[in-house]
Amino acid sequence: MYGKILVPVDGSETATTGLIEAIKLAKNQGGKLRILHIVNELILDYAFGSGMYANTVIESMRSDGQKILNAAEALARQHGLEPEGVLIESIGHHRTSEGMACRPHRHGHSRAPRHPPARARQRRRDRGARRLDARAARAPAPGQEQRLLNGDATHGGTMNEALRVRIPLAVSARHVHLSRASVDALFGTGHRLTARSMLNQPGQFASRETVNLIGPKGRLETVRIVGPERERDQIELSRSDELALGIDAPLRESGDLAGTPGVTVEGPMGRIRLDRGVICSLRHLHMSPADATVLGLKDQDRVAVAVVDTGRDVTFDDIVVRVSPNYRLELHLDTDEGNAAGLSATGAFGVLKLKLKP
């Protein structure tokens, strides 16, 4: 009855149910199964210009799309079918009211190449499945019967439910941010912090300078200063650090210092007693506006991220989303969290699953 059966997959339960139906149909009726995954294009309706950071998400969507497709093809093969897998990128194309159909649409000057050509070629070589230009999928050829299960595969709503995105991880060891006045007091009037290494968030650096922290129960030596200087002093500790110092500091977002405890800070030129500024940093996910658009998130949203493949897989809830043009996609955990999830080193990267809380 059906010459060709077209089934879109996106890794969701609904799509998998559709795939199973399509497999049954193909077995019973002898049709040829074509499995389709579309890498979504939502980002390209927005003109945020921070192409480099936006690519983090798109790259992830591409490779995860390939995995979804591979899994669907494997399932069909288990049932004795020889499916055809098709990965379509509608990135750079606009969706039309024809549902499946994607029409190439160039925006002229706003479409600077997002990848160097060599990288793009390598990616194409790396990809196993046959890839079609979106134009090829515009309409069934005349006389071919096709059946579309699950409705519109280009629908962006599935991303909030099932999108798997690789999120770079960073474990922030204890550190301090200092005001100009505190740098003067600890290192000498007029001293400038010097960068030891740049951090992934643009403009932020780990300085060569360190301080010692002194609490009622103990000391922490050589605590790194993160520059540049800030308006206010802020000391970010893990819960274990707090216990070592004998300080009970609350979970807070950076900058939210009302009612926080203080600590004594020691530098080569003197000591200062801060009467507030110690926090246990609330875990947070930095991202650019472009990434936020792709992920359907906004500043101050809460998300959950599952750390996977570390041998100590764990899902973190209550992660605050922080969106700024100055940020790049990165989850910040403290050392306690990093250790609990099997991430040993500062700056570790991992494969994460991102999901929205209901």
Residue matched to tokens 């309706």: 45
Q: Return the number of the residue (37 or 332) whose C-beta is nearest Zn ion.
A: 332
Q: Which residue is nearest to Zn ion (CB)?
A: 332
Q: Return the number of the residue (215 or 289) whose C-beta is nearest Zn ion.
A: 289
Q: Return the number of the residue (209 or 330) whose C-beta is nearest Zn ion.
A: 330
HSE value, Cβ hemisphere, 13 Å, CA-based, for 280: 15
Check binding of 332 to Zn ion (CB under 5 A): yes
Identify any residues that bridge with 224 across adjacent strands, giving them in sequence order. 175, 210
Nearest distance in Å: CB 284, Zn ion: 6
Nearest distance in Å: CB 357, Zn ion: 20
Question: Apex CA 101: angle with CA 55 and CA 84, to 5°?
Answer: 80
d(CA 28, CA 81): 11
Residue matched to tokens 């274990």: 240
Q: Which stretch binds Zn ion (CB under 5 A): 182-190, 230-238, 329-337, 347-355?
A: 329-337
Q: Which stretch binds Zn ion (CB under 5 A): 85-93, 272-280, 324-332, 335-343?
A: 324-332
Q: Return the number of the residue (166 or 332) whose C-beta is nearest Zn ion.
A: 332
Nearest distance in Å: CB 204, Zn ion: 8
Q: Return the number of the residue (95 or 332) whose C-beta is nearest Zn ion.
A: 332
Nearest distance in Å: CB 285, Zn ion: 9
Nearest distance in Å: CB 286, Zn ion: 6
Check binding of 328 to Zn ion (CB under 5 A): no
Check binding of 174 to Zn ion (CB under 5 A): no
Q: Which stretch binds Zn ion (CB under 5 A): 6-14, 101-109, 176-184, 331-339?
A: 331-339
The set of residues, in sequence order, having a beta carbon less than 8 Å from that of 113 and lying 6+ positions away, is 120
Q: Return the number of the residue (252 or 332) whose C-beta is nearest Zn ion.
A: 332
Q: Which stretch binds Zn ion (CB under 5 A): 45-53, 142-150, 192-200, 326-334?
A: 326-334
Check binding of 95 to Zn ion (CB under 5 A): no
Check binding of 353 to Zn ion (CB under 5 A): no
Contacts with Zn ion: how many residues (CB under 5 A)? Answer: 1
Nearest distance in Å: CB 173, Zn ion: 12
* Position 177, amino acid: H
Nearest distance in Å: CB 332, Zn ion: 4
- 22 φ, ψ to 5°? -65, -40
Q: Return the number of the residue (65 or 289) whose C-beta is nearest Zn ion.
A: 289
Nearest distance in Å: CB 265, Zn ion: 21
Check binding of 37 to Zn ion (CB under 5 A): no
Q: Return the number of the residue (34 or 332) whose C-beta is nearest Zn ion.
A: 332
Q: Return the number of the residue (170 or 186) whose C-beta is nearest Zn ion.
A: 170
Q: Which stretch binds Zn ion (CB under 5 A): 151-159, 211-219, 236-244, 332-340?
A: 332-340
Kindly list the residues in this chain that would bind Zn ion in the complex (CB under 5 A). Answer: 332
